[in-house]
Amino acid sequence: MARSWSLEVKFVSVKNSLFLSKDYLVYIRDFALIKGISAKTLVGNSGIDIDILLNPPQRVSAQIFHQLGFNLFNSLAVPYAGVIELGQGMVLSMHGSLGLAVQGAKSLNEVAKLAEKYHLTRANFRILEQIENRNHSNLRLSESQPEYDMYFAMAELISFQQVIDQLLKHHHLQEHCCIHLKSSEPENFPWKMIKGYQIKFNQTHNQLQIPIQWMDLAISPNDIELAGLAKDQCQQLMEELSPLGLVNEIRQRLKLHPSINTSLKEMAEQLHLSASTLQ
Q: Are residues 58 and 140 in the same domain?
A: no
247 lies in a domain? no
197 lies in a domain? yes
Q: Are residues 226 and 191 in the same domain?
A: yes
Q: Are residues 71 and 102 in the same domain?
A: no
Q: In this prediction, what percent of the chain has a pLDDT beyond 90?
A: 62
167 lies in a domain? yes
Q: Cβ(199)–Cβ(228) under 8 Å?
A: no
Q: In this prediction, what percent of the chain has a pLDDT beyond 70?
A: 78
Q: Are residues 126 and 237 in the same domain?
A: yes
Q: Are residues 107 and 234 in the same domain?
A: yes
Mean pLDDT of the region 11-39: 81
Structurally, the chain folds into a number of domains equal to 2
Q: Are residues 113 and 154 in the same domain?
A: yes
The residue among 25, 45, 76 that closes a domain is 76
265 lies in a domain? no
- CA pair distance 228, 144, nearest whole angstrom: 31
Domain ranges, residue 44? 15-76
Confidence of residue 5 (pLDDT cuts 50, 70, 90): very low
Instruction: Specify the 3-state DSSP secondary structure of 277.
Output: helix
Q: Are residues 194 and 144 in the same domain?
A: yes
- How does pLDDT run across 38-64, given as a tens digit for each residue? 999 999 999 899 999 999 999 898 889
